[in-house]
Amino acid sequence: MVPDGKHARMSKRIYVIPDIHGHKAKLDSALELVEQDGGADAQIVFLGDLVDRGPDSRGVIQTLVDGVAAGRNWTVLRGNHDQLFLEFLDHAQITSPRLRNPLTWVSKTMGAVDTLASYGIIASEDDPNWEEARHLVPQTHRDFLASLPLCYETDDILFVHAGIVPGVPLKDQAPDDLMWIREPFLSDPRDHGKLVVHGHTPVDFPEHHGNRVALDGGAGWGRTLHVAVYEGRDCWLLSTGDRQKLVPLNS
């Protein structure tokens, strides 16, 4: 099994919340939908990218820290934005080989300045203000980010932030690919052995491609934070008082 992965037999229902990107109000609404459908003890997998772009990354992390500490049946995965935040806090690093030049973590479109602002840190592309971040970001948040696994598997489904390299066993997948990959994963039609449920690449509306399900509807860009529920391999999207079946495209 890939390092930092988790495996469990899936309960009757498993709920999935994709990329939150600092939108605590949207997270709160998503959690309400889950509780209405599945109760307070519902199992939830969060697909990572907790931070950046939205106004309250600190509040998002604290909500998840508190839920896990309270014993909620929550599994929070690590996304590439979470990894970038962690690397900045640990090493003052703002670059990554997976970022297209000249992007850095503090480039405007990445949303890091918003994340730092949620901790009361004034930062910019020219001055990320690492010294202040080291002191103002709580150690509990840093420890939480560092503890996040890269994937979660059940008998039928692999939950991961970005995807996998097709044809490579899970135990041999590189951590960076699990957090960053787009192609060749997105265009590969083959059966991956398990249904891969992922975020990372925003789509206008969640898409079921038969071998994978893309759930990131672009909450980081101001769109809807979709909530999915799985019973076996069957998937529904939740809305207030209702479910919408998500069926494979061209089925």
The answer to whether position 30 is within a domain reads yes
The answer to whether position 26 is within a domain reads yes
Per-residue pLDDT averaged across 57-81, rounded?
Answer: 98
Query: What is the domain count for the chain?
Result: 1
Position 10 scores a pLDDT of 42
Report how far residue 169's alpha carbon sits from residue 12's, in angstroms, rounded to the nearest whole number: 27
Position 250 scores a pLDDT of 83
The answer to whether position 62 is within a domain reads yes
The answer to whether position 198 is within a domain reads yes
Position 251 scores a pLDDT of 67
Give the position of tokens 């495996």: 7
The answer to whether position 100 is within a domain reads no
Q: Are 233 and 240 in contact (CB under 8 A)?
A: no
- Residues 104-139 as b/e (b if ≥16 CB within 10 A, e otherwise) read bbbeeebbbbbbbbbbebebeeeebebebbeeebee
Report how far residue 121's alpha carbon sits from residue 211's, in angstroms, rounded to the nearest whole number: 42
Q: What is the pLDDT of residues 192-225, one digit of tens each?
A: 999 999 999 999 999 999 999 999 999 999 999 9
40-157-61-133 Cα dihedral, nearest 10 degrees: 170
| Residue numbers of the domain that contains 155 | 5-76+148-246
Position 86 scores a pLDDT of 98
Report how far residue 163's alpha carbon sits from residue 213's, in angstroms, rounded to the nearest whole number: 10
Report how far residue 115's alpha carbon sits from residue 79's, in angstroms, rounded to the nearest whole number: 15
CATH number of the domain within which 208 lies? 3.60.21.10
The answer to whether position 219 is within a domain reads yes
The answer to whether position 23 is within a domain reads yes
Whether 9 has a pLDDT exceeding 50, the answer reads no
